[in-house]
Structure 1
Amino acid sequence: MIDPDEPLAEQVSRQAKIIDALMRRANRQHEVGSSAYGAFQSAITLQAQVWAKTRDLERTTSELRNARVDTERMRKNLADALAAMDGGVALFTNGQLEMGNDIFQTLLPDISDRLSPGVSTEACFVAMAESRHLVSVEGSFGAALAQARRSRVGSSVVSLVIELTGDRWYQINLQRTSVENLVLLLTEITTIVRSNRSEREHLIDRQADYLQAVFENMSAGVCTFSPDGAVTMFNAQFRQLLGLPYTTLQQGADLQRLLDFIADSGLISGSARFEARRLMEQPHRRLRLATGRMLDLHAHRLPDRGILLELKDVTLESRTTEMLENRVAERTAELTRANTRLTEEYEEKARVEEELRLAKERAEAAVSSKTRFLAAASHDLLQPINAAKLLIATLQDNVAETRFAPTVERLEGSFSSIEQLLHSLLDISRLEGTDEVLTPSDICLGTLMRSVWEDQQVLAQRKGVRLDMVPSMVFVRSDPVYLLRSIQNLVVNAIQYTEPGGRVLAGCRPHGNRIELQVWDTGIGISRKDQTRIFEEFTRAGNVPLGSGVGLGLSVVERTCRHLGHKVQVRSKPGVGSVFSIEMERVEGRPASAQEGCNETPSVEYDMDYIVLIIENDPDVLFATTSKLEQWGASVLPARSIAEALNFIRDMGMPPDIILADYQLDAGETGDLAIAAVRQKSGAHVPAIMITADRSTELLRLGAEQGFSVLTKPVQLSRLRPLIEWKMRRQTGAP
């Protein structure tokens, strides 16, 4: 019923009320008690409760008396502490002045009676602001009080600086000590303010001395004027540059009178009269003195609205500028004449360049025409050679072991040379100035090397040269057609320039992420001076015998490697042999197949018992191909168009075993369309080989999509028959 946290006076009052209520209850029970004994027990109980409450009341009263004594003692100690402080102190509680020391009360004597305890904080500050002894305040009493009340308890102090009569200075600090309590501290700073003022005045005096010393040591003449036009400071250089008398230029002299004196004395030749009030309209002027000297006059506005005049002697600079202007004029005239000559030369050069451009366009048109001609004529050029090779191969088999065999063999060699020369010319034409014909892809070196070995083994055996090749079954990034031609050219050259009984070896060496294909021979070798020129067109080494080629093979190799980014090199010694190499980038992530050596292909002893459908528009090639296949034992159906091929299918009532088709047929027909038509007519996926002069990779991609192989013309019989056998075994599933 009694809260121990309440004030002691409140607790005593509540206890008295409780005791009074208990007494009334006891009297009432005594009057209406049913028995004397019950009343007696109630009286005893009530008396014990009264004694207990009386003891509590006495203890509480004693504690309250002690608390009041402690409060009075603490208040006296606080007053003594405030009185002992050097500065003025005032304590505000609940928005009212609680107490203040003597310094606070007597600082402003005219308002001491208004600073009594209990006055509000706002009234206290208003009284201080209205005091006659207050000279100035740096800030506002009201704003400082509002800021102190908004700040957090125990946070930063809000300060004001006040000036009192008698050049006395105090700093007022306000700090919030609790929710409703503020402390005001008055600290005298008169000594500090006076010291700072004295030091500032001393510094100003010293700066004036420094400024005057700077003025005196400046190379330019300087003179300053007050806002009303009176001279305040100048140096001797200003007087000397203008030639002014000592009596004219003195401190306090009027600016306008000084300008009038300069104009009247003729110190400046041809000068007009200056007006001081309009001097800043043209702050920079160049003056010529009567003595011939040149001066630059600069007028500057000072912060106090005064004027600073600066004079610089620019006589030497003016003369230099005049001399340079004369030289520039002379140089300009020379440049004008030179420009006229250059313009004439430029026009002549433009005319020559135009003629060169037209000549270049004509040359490019001629080269383009030649390229288009060779590209268009390649098919027509290779067709008769293909037919001749097939007929010569058939003739060789027919005249074997007769007296005509050597003649036919020479004839076959001559056609091989023609074929090699034609291929070289076509390759150079395609590679001339562009790499668009090249389509690099991931190819296996071993496959190309084995193909070259199979094609050139007959040439090596005829020459009496041992041809060995160790294929490296790694993948490189290159063009399959032109890399094959490059390897073939190197091997053919090695066989051609190696004497009977010699040896040619081809293989690969790894170099980190690159692979180097090398062709070694024990031939006649190449001198050092010839090694730098053998890759040019129509160039041969000095020790090459006559009639051994026209020097185009290595040029094809060099152009191919340059366009593909391969590195081609040669090492050779006359009489010992040569090593040609092509260094290429190895394709990572493509595992190398097992290496397989190149052995001599066994001769075929059995007949080719197949029905072969040949689709070829050239009658000579058709006849030669038919003759050779029939000689191999095949049954041949020769057709010159798709319609004739379909007639064979209809007459037989069954599909052929294999199709050999040329790509370019008559009337816009192509070999892929012919193969597709035969397969559709016969209802079977007949194996097919495309024999064409087209070497583009698009045709290879088309063959992979439609399921036919591609052989280029002139066809190599050493590759044609194994390819036919392989496709037939694959078709029948035979091993």
Structure 2
Amino acid sequence: MPDRTPRAASLLNPADPPERQREKLMTIAEVLMRRVEQVTDDSGAAYAQFQRAALLEDQVRARTRDLERALDLLNQSNARLADANHEAEAARRNLADAIETVQEGFALFGPDEVLVMCNSRFCMQMLDLRDHLRPGLAFDDYIDLVSRSRFMALPAGETPQDWAVRRRRRHQDRHVIFNVRLIWDRWLQVSEHRTANGGTVILQTDVTDIIRLEREERGKMLDDQARIIRATLDHISQGVCIFDSATRLVGWNARLGDLLAIPVTRFRPGVTFDTLMERFGAEASFGDGMTAEVLRSWASAKQRQTLSFELRRGPFILQADAQEMPDGGFVLSFTDITAERAARAALAAVNETLEARVTERTLELADALADAERANASRARFVAAASHDLLQPLSAAKLFIGSIPAEELDPAAEEAVTKAQNALVQVEGILGALLDISKLESGRLAVTPRALTLNRVLDPLREEFAAIAAAKGLRLTVMPSSAVVVSDPAYLRRILQNLIGNAVRYTMQGRVLVGVRRQGGLIRLEVRDTGPGIAEEDQDAIFREFHRLDAPASASEGMGLGLAIVERACAALGHPLGLQSEPGRGSCFMVQLARAEPGVEALPAPPRIEPAARPTPDRIVFLIENEPDLRRALGLMLEKWGMTVLDAANAEEAEALIEEIGILPDVFIVDQQLGEGRSGLDFLREIRARHPHLPVSLITAGRETGIRRACLDLGAELFLKPLDPRALESWLARLPTGM
């Protein structure tokens, strides 16, 4: 018997409710049971059919349970969906109620540029749009509807299509605000903003009252300005007339009629410029370069340049100025310059007299200036000559005192010699300062800026002032610096020497600090102290010559020339000089220098003068000095060191003596100024030409750069007067033996 179970199963429709499916299964089961009971088959087919029916019943029961569970889940989902729909509908109603309470018109377009919702105030001023504002309206359709609305007042010359194109262009921005003019002089402000999901929110606000109020206020302001302008025009001394772009008179003042001799009745709004030209053109004459035709052409031109000319009417001279206004009109102003021209003529006559007097006075001043310059030059030469003449005996005195054997003096005499030597050192410093001031004032200061390492200047100053500061109980700190700057090493040292010396002199307790600060491409040297400080009103006075704040000048405490030299030397070198000081808290002097370019070779440090051993004795030293006292003192000093001294007053005597004795000296010490005849440099050049390796040195009181350069070229040692015995002794001790 064929299996009919599939056919029975196909009788069930899955879409039927569980109750209907259960009813069908029960019917199928009953039919099968009846067939089993009716059919008698010896082969056991009936029993098989019974088994199939029982199995089918079990499957029906399992399927029924599954369907019941699915129905329960479906009922729960439907319940939750109903709740969600209810909540969404409530939220939508709340949102609609909220936007309906907004006083402005509100509309929301989705990311697809389709209207989602709007309130009743949206486009309420455009009644012909109300029936079209429904959800689903496209944004482009909304713009087309607005552009064709009969309530829109489009700008002059603009079509609805033009307005729609301009509106769509604005829609491309994320935020935009603009005003739309409606009929009946009403205005709507439209504010459009993009939402986070790409939608668009549009707010519409009626700003008619605000714009009308602004118009009223602007009208009042214009009326006030017109009254102010009218009052101004009536009170100025110039005659003024104003014309519009069609050259018609729109404004004037009463002074205009007085200057042009035109009755006031002729001035009325609408009078053309040509009409006024006919009136005053016949009674007035124009100055050079101006005619009535030129003025008419200027008034009728499209673009006008500022115009100035003179107008003569009888004895009166008027200055006329014409200028275009932004609206295409122009303004003419007339000024009475009759009195000014008369005064100018009178001044011209006076000037002729004054010019003669000024010329005469100028010649007198030129003569006085020439006399002053000659006097200044004479004074500078006198100071230089006097300093040189004083340095000669001063050097001799120092050498004579230095040649006195200290071991042969009793304590009282040794103390007197020491004090005399200190006094000579003070006099030497004063003479050097006077010589520097003379050069700085006469403009003869020759500076040679070059690249040098700051330590070249700072290290010797640290050693020079360490003992002086320690004797006063001060802590002196000179910070080392490898920075390479551009300056004149000699005058930079003199600047710092004066600043440090002043700081040590006026600081009673505490410390003196010399530091270096880097500021980009600049280097700033600072000399700080904990001294009494300088009041602000005295900070300019301290840079004057012979000026000291604390006490009268004395030789032991300086003559007040140090800061004057510092200021002038900084100016000559181009180094800005600064001062910060507060009474009771100390002072800080600052000198600013330029850093050298990378790769520039710095000037090497000068050889350090050490307390050298005694010079090699039994050497023959030839001394050439024209001053007898200085020659005698220097000879005694050399003999004290064990040298054999030959001396001469000039180059000629020296050559004669060398030729007579037939012995070449071991060392030459030559003064630069030898009186009549050859100079010391001339003599040394001749010696170098014949004996290239013979040690030579030059003694001079001059500080000229040319002398230093010449000594470097010759390989000659240079000693400045007053001569420092230690420097000379150190140089002689460094000379190689066996020469």
What is aligned with 2:450? 441
Q: Give the conservation status (yes or no) of the 8 Å contact 2:696–2:716.
A: yes
Between the aligned partners of 1:342 and 1:594, the Cα distance in structure 2 is: 60
1:321 aligns with 2:313: yes
1:413 to 411, 415, 422: 422
How far does the alpha carbon of each residue in 1:379-416 deviate from its partner, in whole angstroms, 9 at most, with x for none? 32321222222223334746666212222222222222
Answer yes or no: is 1:475 the counterpart of 2:484: yes
User: What is the DSSP-based 3-state SS (H/G/I as helix, E as strand, rest coil) of the residue aligned with 1:403?
Assistant: helix
Report Cα offsets for 1:550-579 as digits up to 9, x if no partner. 211110110010111002223345555443
Give distance in 1, aligned partners of 2:247 and 2:577: 77
**Equivalents in 1 of 2:312, 2:654: separation in Å?**
100
The letter for the 1-side match of 2:522 is R
Maintained 8 Å contact 1:384/1:620: yes
Summarize the Cα distance change of 1:583–1:678 in structure 2 as closer, same or farther, 3 Å threshold: same
Task: Tell me, yes or no, if structure 1 residue 712 matches structure 2 residue 692.
Answer: no
* 2-structure distance, mates of 1:641, 1:287: 97
Q: CA deviation at 1:588?
A: 1.9
Partner residue, 2:378: 369
Question: Given that residues 615 and 639 in structure 1 are in contact (C-alpha distance below 8 angstroms), is that contact kept between their aligned partners in structure 2?
Answer: yes
SS in structure 2 of the partner of residue 668 of structure 1 = coil
Query: Displacement of 1:532 after TM fit?
Result: 2.7
SS in 1 for 2:598: coil
Q: How does 1:579-618 map to 2 (within 5 A)?
A: 579-590=588-599, 603-604=611-612, 606=614, 608-609=616-617, 610-618=619-627
Query: Is 2:522 the counterpart of 1:514?
Result: yes
Q: 1:537 aligns with which of 545, 552, 557?
A: 545
Between the two proteins, what is the percent identity of the paired residues? 33
Contact 1:476 1:585 in 2 (8 A): yes
What is aligned with 2:647?
Answer: 638
Residue type at the aligned position of 1:619: P
Alignment counterpart, residue 688 of structure 1, candidates 692, 696, 704? 696
- Check if 1:665 corresponds to 2:674: yes
For structure 1, which runs of at least 5 residues remain unmatched after alignment?
A: 1-216, 221-236, 242-267, 269-284, 289-295, 299-316
| TM-superposed deviation, 1:430 | 0.8
Instruction: Say whether residues 1:722 and 2:730 are aligned partners.
Output: yes
Query: Which secondary structure does the structure 1 equivalent of 2:523 belong to?
Result: strand
- Tell me the CA shift for residue 603 of structure 1: 4.3
The residue aligned with 1:562 is 571
Superposition CA RMSD, Å: 4.4
SS in 2 for 1:715: coil
Q: Report if aligned partners of 1:435, 1:563 keep a CA contact under 8 Å in 2.
A: no
Secondary structure of the corresponding residue to residue 443 of structure 1:
strand
Amino acid across the alignment from 2:382: F
Give the Cα–Cα distance (whole angstroms) in 2 for the partners of residues 466 and 597 of structure 1.
Answer: 26
Preserved CA contact (<8 Å) 1:661 1:689: yes
1:357 and 2:332 are equivalent in the alignment: no
Q: In the alignment, what sits opposite 2:709?
A: 701
The structure 2 residue matched to 1:384, chosen from 375, 389, 393, is: 393
TM-score for both structures, normalised by structure 2: 0.50
Give the aligned residue type for 1:379. H
SS of the equivalent of 2:412 reads coil
- Residues 593/676 of structure 1: CA separation in 2 closer, same or farther (3 Å cut): closer
Separation in structure 2 between the aligned mates of residue 598 and residue 574 of structure 1, nearest angstrom:
41
* SS at structure 2 position matched to 1:614: strand
Cα distance in 2, alignment partners of residues 639 and 480 from structure 1:
35
Distance in 2 (CA, whole Å) between partners of 1:564 and 1:391 is: 38
Q: Confirm whether residue 625 of structure 1 aligns to residue 634 of structure 2.
A: yes
The amino acid that maps onto 1:441 is R
Q: Secondary structure at the residue paired with 1:368?
A: helix
CA distance in 2, matches of 1:511, 1:395: 52
Letter in 1 for 2:626: N
Any idea what the Cα deviations from partners look like across 1:103-156, whole Å, max 9, x if unmatched? Answer: xxxxxxxxxxxxxxxxxxxxxxxxxxxxxxxxxxxxxxxxxxxxxxxxxxxxxx
Q: List aligned pairs for 1:490-509, cutoff 5 A.
A: 490-499=499-508, 504-509=512-517
Give the CA deviation at 1:443.
Answer: 3.5
Q: 1:459-496: per-residue Cα shift (whole Å, max 9, x none)?
A: 55776766554553443322233223222222332333
Matches of 1:482 and 1:462, distance apart in 2? 27
SS, match of residue 667 in structure 1: coil
Selected match of 1:429 from 438, 443, 448:
438
Residue 676 to residue 556, structure 1, CA distance change in 2 (3 Å): same
Residue type of the partner of 1:383?
Q
Whole-Å separation in 1 of the counterparts to 2:283 and 2:591: 83
Q: Does structure 2 conserve the Cα–Cα contact (< 8 Å) formed by 1:389 and 1:412?
A: yes
Distance 1:321 1:655, change over 3 A: same
Q: Distance in 1 between matches of 2:439 and 2:340?
A: 57
In the alignment, is the contact (CA less than 8 A) between 1:474 and 1:591 conserved in 2? no
Give, in angstroms, the shift of residue 585 of structure 1.
1.2
Query: Aligned partners of 1:591 and 1:325: how far apart in 2?
Result: 71
Partners of 2:293 and 2:648 in 1: CA distance: 108
- Verify the 8 A CA contact 1:617 1:640 in the aligned structure 2: yes
Q: 1:564 to 1:645 in 2, by over 3 A?
A: same
1:159 aligned residue: none
| Distance in 1 separating the partners of 2:445 and 2:574 | 14
Q: Aligned partners of 2:460, 2:431: CA distance in 1, in Å?
A: 20
What is the CA–CA distance in structure 2 between the aligned matches of 1:717 and 1:457, rounded to whole Å?
Answer: 21
Q: Structure 1 residues 598 and 719 mapped into 2: Cα distance closer, same or farther (>3 Å)?
A: closer
Counterparts of 1:357 and 1:318 in 2: how far apart (Å)? Answer: 43
* Structure 2: 5+ residue stretches without partners: 1-245, 250-270, 285-291, 295-308, 319-335
In 1, the alpha carbon distance for the partners of 2:602 and 2:500 equals: 23
Q: Is the alpha carbon distance of 1:708 and 1:330 closer, same or farther for their aligned partners in structure 2, counting shifts above 3 Å? A: closer
**Size of the alignment, in residue pairs?**
430
2:676 partner SS: helix
TM superposition shift of 1:626: 1.9
Q: Using the alignment, how far apart are the partners of 1:390 and 1:417 within structure 2?
A: 15
One-letter code of the match for 1:559? R
Write the distance in 2 (CA, Å) between the matches of 1:318 and 1:618.
83
Alpha-carbon offset, residue 647 of structure 1? 4.7
Spell out, residue by residue over 1:699-719, the C-alpha distance to the aligned partner (whole angstroms, 9 max, x if none).
122112111122221123343
What CA deviation, in whole Å up to 9, does each residue of 1:85-113 have, x standing for no partner? xxxxxxxxxxxxxxxxxxxxxxxxxxxxx
Per-residue Cα deviation, 1:348-371 (whole angstroms, up to 9, x for no partner) = 444333332222221111112212
Task: Give the deviation of 1:435 after TM superposition.
Answer: 6.1
1:474/1:593 contact within 8 Å kept: no
SS in 1 for 2:316: helix
* Contact persistence 1:655–1:686 (CA under 8 A): no
d(CA) in 2 for partners of 1:502, 1:328: 73
2:336 corresponds to 1:336: no
Could you tell me whether the CA contact under 8 Å between 2:400 and 2:637 is conserved in 1?
Answer: yes
1:606 Cα deviation (Å)? 4.0
Deviates more, 1:376-385 or 1:419-428: 376-385
